[in-house]
């Protein structure tokens, strides 16, 4: 126990580099997933059936394929298709495609939570479609989607750990490197303590984000009477 | 690169073996995780002193940590304190613990929707809390939460691909090994897409049948 703490303290710089990489990856993914989510989620609420079908197909494919397979396909399959990517961009791309599918579901839910009459009223007043979305639907949907997107961020932070498998030195990989070095140099395998510590750090980060998501949900429901979109669940994405 | 069907057929046996591993790991973990879920939901409903809080902590912990780190912890971490499991059972254990937390929540949610009148009626009839759960609460809760239980099972099958990270030769491990060795990305990625879709869809179908049968007593 004490040795593990010493080991972690001695390797704090490496762990911090890993943590920074994890958070950076999560931030990039959140931005890209939001972009994809807003685009596809909006398309899913448009009139033409084929547009809705395309959006649904995208969502279905990236939610049904295991995320690890998506990332491996991009990283290992990319070179064969003529798009070799470095580990970090490959993982960021895979996470964004997957996160975008889940974001699209949230955005669709948010837009659909707004009473249909508002849209009809806006149309009757002669507003353009893009103005209806920009001025009426999106601003209201934003409030309904906020807790769910916060919940999605917690899932994204967890999923960045997959970067370790293709060579991104994020937090899990940093822990793995410490274990390897210690095993080789000192002949002691500290895997239990170090991976336990890694679990606890993820738990701390994600609990805070999850708590924030729940708090937003309660607050929006109480203050604004907003029917928020349900936050995605690790066992549903 | 062209799609080489002959090549694909030659890899049939290896892929089938990988698919079997995926199915076995998932099937065992599904059964065990539902058992955990039943125990957890019962413990939380009956407010069994220590177990109740233990299950709250367990569910929160699993939900807020990455599955991949859980798998690494079980496979690399536990042996260093003397708990050595084989590759296969490490995979099963991690997936079971992961899904068990979600099944606990699913079933607890199902139990919570059952009207308290039924519970009061059971007590009036002299049933103990445990008898209430076994005869009334859980059978109804399973029906109510079946869709969410199914969702968790589907996720479990999907996430069983994570065990390839510790070297278990499941479907995705076999396929990616072929990509690395034979440079057959196109064929193997098609196999993965088709394989996981088939598993997920057949699981949804079988549960729809099950749902139909569970509803039988309530149909005329």
A98 SS3 class: helix
Residue whose entry in the numeric block shows the structure tokens 């995605």: A232
| pLDDT tens-digit series, residues A185-225 | 888 888 898 999 999 999 999 999 999 998 988 888 887 67
Taking CB atoms and an 8 Å cutoff, what residues of chain A touch B65? Answer: 158, 199, 202-203, 206
Query: The domain spanning residue A207 has which CATH number?
Result: 1.10.3720.10
- Among A68, A73, A154, the residue with its CB nearest the CB of B162 is A68
Contact B155 A234 (CB under 8 A): yes
For B74, which DSSP code? I
Compute the C-alpha angle B65/B69/B72, nearest 5°: 150
Structural element, H or E, at residue B188 = helix B185-214
- Among B64, B172, B180, the residue with its CB nearest the CB of A203 is B64
In a domain, A133, yes or no: yes
Taking CB atoms and an 8 Å cutoff, what residues of chain B touch A65? Answer: 158, 192-193, 196
Q: Tokens standing for A191? A: 């895997």
Sign of CA dihedral B212, B213, B218, B220: positive
Reported as a pLDDT band with limits 50, 70 and 90, residue B2 is low
Contact A206 B65 (CB under 8 A): yes
pLDDT value of residue B133: 86
Compute the C-alpha angle A156/A174/B162, nearest 5°: 50
Chain mean position to CA B151: 9
- Among A77, A159, A236, the residue with its CB nearest the CB of B185 is A77
pLDDT at B208 > cutoff 80: no
Low-confidence ranges of chain A (pLDDT < 50): none
Architecture in CATH of B19-168: Orthogonal Bundle (1.10)
pLDDT value of residue A38: 93
B79-108 b/e (C-beta count within 10 Å ≥ 16 → b):
ebeeeeeeebebbbbbbbbbbbbbbbbbbb
Query: Looking at per-residue confidence, does A74 or B213 come out higher?
Result: A74
Give the residue from B202, B18, B204, B165 showing the smallest Cα distance to A67.
B165
Complex-level ipTM: 0.89
Evaluate whether A7 touches A193 at the Cβ level (below 8 Å): yes
Mark out the alpha helices in chain A (DSSP H runs): 2-10, 12-43, 49-64, 67-77, 87-112, 116-124, 129-131, 138-159, 171-186, 191-219
Compute the C-alpha angle A81/B3/B163, nearest 5°: 70
Taking CB atoms and an 8 Å cutoff, what residues of chain B touch A80? Answer: 1, 179, 183, 185-186
Q: How many domains does the structure of chain A reveal?
A: 1
B96-111 mean pLDDT: 93
- Among B64, B68, B70, the residue with its CB nearest the CB of A154 is B64
Percentage with pLDDT > 70 across chain B: 98
Contact B68 A210 (CB under 8 A): no
pLDDT value of residue A236: 62
In a domain, A235, yes or no: no
A179 touches chain B (CB under 8 A): yes
Reported as a pLDDT band with limits 50, 70 and 90, residue B32 is very high
Give Rg (Cα) of chain A: 21
Chain A CA closest to residue B153:
A235
Chain A CA closest to residue B194:
A65
Mark out the alpha helices in B46-170 (DSSP H runs): 49-63, 67-72, 87-113, 116-124, 129-132, 138-159
Query: Looking at per-residue confidence, does B103 or A5 come out higher?
Result: B103
In a domain, A231, yes or no: no
B90-101 mean pLDDT: 95
User: Average model confidence (pLDDT) for chain B?
Assistant: 87
pLDDT value of residue A4: 81
pLDDT value of residue B72: 94
| pLDDT tens-digit series, residues B109-138 | 888 888 888 888 988 998 888 888 888 888
pLDDT value of residue B83: 85
* Min Cα–Cα distance to chain B from A92, Å: 17
pLDDT at B1 > cutoff 60: no
Residue A94's domain comprises 2-224
């Amino acid at each position: 126990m004490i040795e593990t703490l010493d080991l972690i303290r001695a390797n704090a710089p490496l762990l911090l580099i890993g943590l920074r990489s994890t958070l950076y990856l999560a931030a990039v993914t959140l931005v890209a997933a939001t972009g994809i989510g807003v685009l596809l989620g909006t398309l899913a609420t448009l009139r033409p059936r084929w547009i809705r079908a395309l959006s649904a197909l995208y969502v279905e494919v990236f939610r049904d394929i295991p995320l690890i397979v998506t990332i491996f396909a991009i990283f290992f399959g990319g070179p064969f298709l003529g798009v070799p990517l470095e580990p970090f961009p490959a993982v960021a791309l895979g996470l964004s495609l997957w996160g975008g599918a889940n974001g699209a579901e949230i955005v669709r839910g948010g837009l659909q939570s707004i009473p249909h009459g508002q849209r009809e009223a806006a149309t009757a007043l002669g507003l353009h479609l893009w103005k209806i979305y920009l001025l009426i639907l999106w601003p209201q949907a934003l409030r309904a989607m906020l807790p769910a997107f916060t919940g999605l961020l917690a899932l994204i932070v967890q999923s960045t750990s997959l970067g370790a498998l293709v060579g991104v030195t994020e937090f899990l990989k940093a822990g793995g490197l410490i274990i390897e070095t210690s095993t080789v140099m000192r002949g002691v395998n500290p895997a239990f303590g170090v991976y336990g510590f890694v679990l606890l750090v993820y738990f701390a980060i994600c609990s805070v984000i999850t708590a924030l998501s729940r708090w937003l949900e309660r607050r929006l429901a109480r203050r604004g009477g907003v029917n928020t979109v349900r936050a995605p669940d690790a066992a549903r994405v | 690169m062209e799609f080489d069907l002959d090549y694909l057929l030659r890899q049939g046996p290896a892929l089938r073996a990988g698919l079997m591993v995926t199915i076995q790991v998932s099937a065992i973990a599904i059964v065990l995780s539902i058992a955990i879920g039943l125990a957890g939901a019962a413990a939380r409903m009956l407010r069994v002193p220590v177990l109740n809080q233990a299950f709250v902590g367990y569910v929160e912990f699993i939900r807020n940590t990455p599955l991949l780190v859980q798998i690494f912890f079980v496979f690399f971490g536990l042996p260093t304190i003397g708990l050595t499991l084989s590759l296969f059972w490490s995979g099963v254990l991690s997936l079971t613990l992961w899904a068990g937390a979600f099944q606990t929540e699913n079933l607890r949610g199902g139990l919570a929707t059952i009207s308290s009148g039924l519970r009061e009626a059971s007590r009036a009839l002299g049933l103990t809390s445990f008898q209430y759960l076994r005869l009334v609460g859980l059978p109804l809760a399973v029906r109510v939460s079946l869709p969410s239980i199914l969702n968790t099972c589907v996720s479990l099958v999907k996430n069983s691909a994570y065990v390839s990270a510790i070297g278990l030769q499941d479907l995705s491990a076999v396929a990616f090994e072929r990509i690395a060795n034979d440079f057959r990305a196109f064929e193997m990625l098609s196999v993965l897409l088709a394989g996981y879709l088939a598993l997920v869809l057949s699981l949804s179908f079988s549960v729809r049948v099950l749902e139909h049968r569970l509803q039988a007593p309530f149909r005329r």
